[in-house]
Amino acid sequence: MSTSEFARRKAQSVPRMAVQLPRLRLAGLDYSALAREGALVAGLLELRDPRLQVTNNANYPQPARASTVTPEQLRQLPFRLDIALARIINFNFRSAEIVKGGSEPGIFNLTRFNASITHLTNDAAVAAARPSIGRVSGYLEDKCLVEGVFRFNLRDPQGGHSFVGSFGPVPFAILNPVSEPAAFIRFDKGRVERILCNVQFTKQGANGMVWARYSDLKVSMLKKKPGPDKKNILTRVGSLLTNALLVRDNNPRKPNQSLEPGQVKIDRDLRYSVFRVWRVAVVDGMLSSFGVPEVIADKVE
């Protein structure tokens, strides 16, 4: 069933999630804690080859309830969770979401993702002494290496967590599956050497900075009407002005100059999953670093 058909049947914008978990291993389980209080306490939790696909169409009314796929919702678990080490091996994630006013889904893929998380717990005493730390690596669109560190506390009522990481090297064109249907921008040319980011997330939104080192950037503005010819005279003029006056074709502009940073500042809609705010934060910071005007970058959802 397509994204649009699913939304039509539900008569609202409801994310559709498909999960596959072929292998799960639990070691060092505390049977006495499980029998005595229903607590899940273990030395190791390992997930191998999980798959998650999320589809959505924002052209339909949004449900009033908050998403259940958020850090703050994990705080509401009805049992104590305390895992010394959690490992995720070869996780693949795919998002296909149609933004409000759009007609085609923006595609976002994260593949070959691995994570090692220490002290995965909602135990207040343990969390206060040892915050959860996740070291992750994977590939955006199966091409761009992503490495970083998450820090979070499942007891935080604000759902606070942070990510410090790096991306690259990669051609700009990998952004097109998201930028074309969501912001009507096509990256025609250019290459990213390395992107560094430092972003903090809460229930309210995301704030942080992105530093992108890249060269030979060129973009095209696209018309909103779908079809094989996505450019007309207005978008061609807009593309020329954008490249000439707004977008930084190189960062740094000249050798030995400092990088122009990009700012991440987005509000969070609690009706959407945490995966969406992560994706939007990364793309928003990259577009800001490239010099894409905020009024355009803010359209990316």
**Bridge partner list, 166:** 147, 196
What pLDDT score does 234 carry?
Answer: 39
Using the predicted structure, report yes or no on whether residue 216 has a pLDDT greater than 80.
yes
Share of the chain above pLDDT 90, in %: 39
The amino acid at residue 97 is E
pLDDT in tens, 72-131: 777 788 999 999 999 999 999 998 888 777 788 888 899 999 999 999 998 888 887 888
Average pLDDT score over the chain: 83
**Contact (Cβ atoms closer than 8 angstroms) between residue 76 and residue 118:** no
Distance CA 286, CA 259 (A): 13
12 compared with 113, residue with greater pLDDT: 113
> What does the pLDDT look like over 222-244, one tens digit per residue?
766 555 545 444 344 444 444 44
pLDDT in tens, 140-193: 999 999 999 999 988 888 888 999 999 989 998 988 998 888 777 888 889 999
Question: With bands split at pLDDT 50, 70 and 90, how would you rate the model's confidence at 68?
Answer: confident
For the chain, the domains span 3-297
pTM: 0.81
Residue 159: the pLDDT is: 87
Number of other residues whose CB lies within 10 A of the CB of residue 135:
14
